[in-house]
Amino acid sequence: MTTLARATRKPAKAPGESKKGVRGRGSVPTVSGDVKCVKPSGKGGESPLPSTPAGVTDSLQFVTPAVRERLARLGILRLADLALHLPLRYEDETALVTIADAISGTTVQVEGRVVESKVSCRPRRQLICRVEDESGSLTMRFFNFYPSQQRALAARARVRLIGEIRQGFFGAEMIHPRFRVLRGEAPLPDALTPVYPTTAGLSQDSLRKLVARALRDVDLAETLPEPLRQQINLEPFAEAVRLLHQPPPQVNATSLQERSHPAWQRLKFDELLAQQLSMRLHYLRRSRQRAPALRSHGGLSRQLVESLPFGLTGAQVRALDEIRADLARPHPMQRLLQGDVGSGKTIVAALAALQAIESGYQVAVMAPTEILAEQHYRKFAHWLALLGVDVAWLSGSVRKKERDQALERLASGNTALAVGTHALFQEQVLFRNLGLAIVDEQHRFGVRQRLMLRMKGGQTNAQPHQLMMSATPIPRTLAMSFYADLDVSVIDELPPGRMPVVTKLVADSRRDEVLARVRDACASGRQAYWVCPLIEESEALQLQTAMDTYERLQREFSELRIGLAHGRMRSAEKAAVMNAFQAGEIQLLVATTVIEVGVDVPNASLMVIEHADRMGLSQLHQLRGRVGRGTQSSACILLYQAMLSELARERLRIIYENSDGFEVARLDLKLRGPGEILGARQSGVPMLRLADLESDMKLLEAARRVAPKLVASHPDLVECHLARWLGGRQEYLRV
């Protein structure tokens, strides 16, 4: 008989694993219930299989409520979830080394007898045990321990330890090793030991026992038709799952650790396939819903195009044609219009809005910040006023009288287009016949907010079309996976005459040179931004505040007109400052990242960004896009601190070497993963736990090809596959 213990009061996780590593890339959302599968025949047919063996359910009623609560933290609510709770890594407990042969800095397994055990309080309370084998001795130290563990490690106890060997003051030692007290025969395992993602109060030993029970009872029936599985060259599902939980002795340990083993490939494919199937079903369901067919785009659209001081680019025309074709169909459009900063998405959106207005419907334009929303309002009002189209402005800063008038005009249908922030989907905002909702920077809104806007269509049997815009380009892998249910239009060229922005990296020690550059730019009649990340002092980060910077620059540039804009200003004050800057009355604008989107001042040719090493790639690229909007040469100076982390150094290298937003986004995805980029937990999209969009591109492409075929010919298998992986959330809520 053997007893496994872990001498620590901290959450039970493997040494060296970060919190992010323990949770992986996100939990698969699940609900309780049986997974009812069918077994595909070799000829592509199916024969019913029970979901689980007779008398066995897929619930976790056999564990205590406390354990169920801990499992729920990991997204485990069913036996199927346990079976898909795959190891983070593996440890080799199949071999022992002698203490004398253990190499410092490596994780090893040794066996010996405790010859001394004591609690010392110098310099802090700790349990110290000396263990000997025939070759030598080592010291174990535990800074957190239970009395039961102290008793288990009494003198003469025979123990097996796993941990990293370090050289301490008294020789070889292990800090908080995993240990097993041996009583009687204790043969070494003949396979690698899995280490699972876990949470506080749930030990690895407990998880292994729970997983073993799940593998015994759960339904692991195949969800791919046999000819298709063989065609893609994938392992059988049940064999792959069992191998990953219980690797046989002959398995290639490196391929397991690197997740390149065929068993890993099968599970990754199935996860990606579940995502693609869910997206495909949502796309098909939307195509069966009704929307107003907006077919008119004649006189008003032509008048607007002819009044513009510029011509549309080929990419803009192509995107507009795709949008117009969707709007003319009697099914809800759900199209994403993406393009780099300054590529001209807004005029394409305005022409799409005119198609709805000419068809007799209203349009809502929603933006996440007041600055961006007001910028849209100014542009739409300027373009459409000459055409006789009434444009309303709705935000939290609008006075009650003006707001009530705007609401009345919207409800009566006299106002054709409304621009605003979150205020647009408040309960008191009513549209007579909303035909098109345009959402800018859509990833900043949650699912519920976007849904609330669409529910204001004013028609019980039809939904408005939806056009989403993003100046944060989406890498191809994200578009193929998390946006697979959307139609995507890309504006991939800038208007003619636009000058590229020169990016410069400057150490903070060369600040005087930067000040001279700002003085020269403003003296020549141009304008400049000085961006700071915080408006309050933070001792922890020691970042320069916008307030202090504003005061210092006022002293430095007494001859310049300097303004200040930050997110905690009142809307009217902020609007006044921005208007003055756009009118040229302010030469240098000190601002926080509230100017990240929605600010269009062609005369601004220089931007200085404080502490650029603290900002993300997407934010840096968006900020850089505020300059270079005219015909003169422009520059973006990134000030950084001398001591850079590896991540900060890599971000600065990427933004310095790349001006293409799509390439910046691709490299950002590689650095951060999809979760942070998408804000996916907010948007309701379950994240991938196993597959990696960068390294598993071929699997993603295969899943994308297979999904529509399965939906068309094997609906029962599709239902089973989605139930297994999503547990009741078979369709992502994408609005």
What does the DSSP assignment read for 19-66?
Answer: HHHHHTT-PPP--SS----EEEPTTS-EEE--SSSTT--SS-TTS-HH
Across 114-135, average pLDDT: 92
Q: What are the distances in angstroms from CA 512 to CA 178, 482, 534, 557, 624?
A: 56, 46, 22, 12, 21
What residue spans of 343-456 are helical by DSSP H?
345-358, 370-385, 400-412, 447-454
Instruction: Tell me the pLDDT of the chain averaged across its residues.
Output: 82
Query: How far apart, in whole angstroms, are the C-alpha atoms of residue 624 and residue 476?
Result: 23
What digits encode the pLDDT tens for the residues 66-100?
A: 999 999 999 899 999 999 999 999 888 888 999 99
Residue 676: pLDDT band with limits 50, 70, 90: low
Residue that the structure tokens 């334009």 belong to: 365
Query: How far apart, in whole angstroms, are the C-alpha atoms of residue 173 and residue 168?
Result: 6
Across 122-150, average pLDDT: 92
- Is residue 108 within 8 A of residue 172, CB to CB? The reply is no
Across 406-430, average pLDDT: 87
More confident site: 732 or 468: 468
Query: How far apart, in whole angstroms, are the C-alpha atoms of residue 32 and residue 59?
Result: 6
Residue 594: pLDDT band with limits 50, 70, 90: confident
Mean pLDDT check: name the lowest of 21-25, 213-217, 388-392, 553-557: 21-25
Ordered structural domains, the chain, with CATH = 18-90+194-258 (no CATH), 95-188 (2.40.50.140), 299-491 (3.40.50.300), 501-658 (3.40.50.300)
What digits encode the pLDDT tens for the residues 224-278?
A: 999 999 999 999 999 999 999 999 878 888 899 899 999 999 999 999 999 899 8
What pLDDT is stored for residue 317 in this prediction?
A: 95
Residue that the structure tokens 């139930």 belong to: 723
pLDDT at 309 over 90: no
Kindly state the DSSP code that residue 534 receives in the 8-state scheme: B
pLDDT exceeding 70 applies to what percent of the chain? 84
Closest CA to 165 of 153, 157, 174: 174
Q: What are the distances in angstroms from CA 68 to CA 59, 216, 672?
A: 10, 19, 31
HSE, CB side, 13 Å, CA atoms: give it for residue 82.
Answer: 26
Residue 117: pLDDT band with limits 50, 70, 90: very high
What pLDDT is stored for residue 467 in this prediction?
A: 93
- Length of the chain (residues): 735
Query: How far apart, in whole angstroms, are the C-alpha atoms of residue 591 and residue 371?
Result: 12
> What are the b/e assignments for 607-638, b being 16+ CB within 10 Å?
bbbbbbbbbebbbbbbbbbbbbbbebebbbbb
Closest CA to 716 of 730, 733, 732, 705: 730
Across 433-445, average pLDDT: 78
Which residues lie closer than 8 Å to 316 by C-beta, 6 or more apart? 343, 344, 347, 348, 491
Residue that the structure tokens 């549309």 belong to: 312
> Is pTM beyond 0.85 here?
no
Query: How far apart, in whole angstroms, are the C-alpha atoms of residue 318 and residue 490?
Result: 9
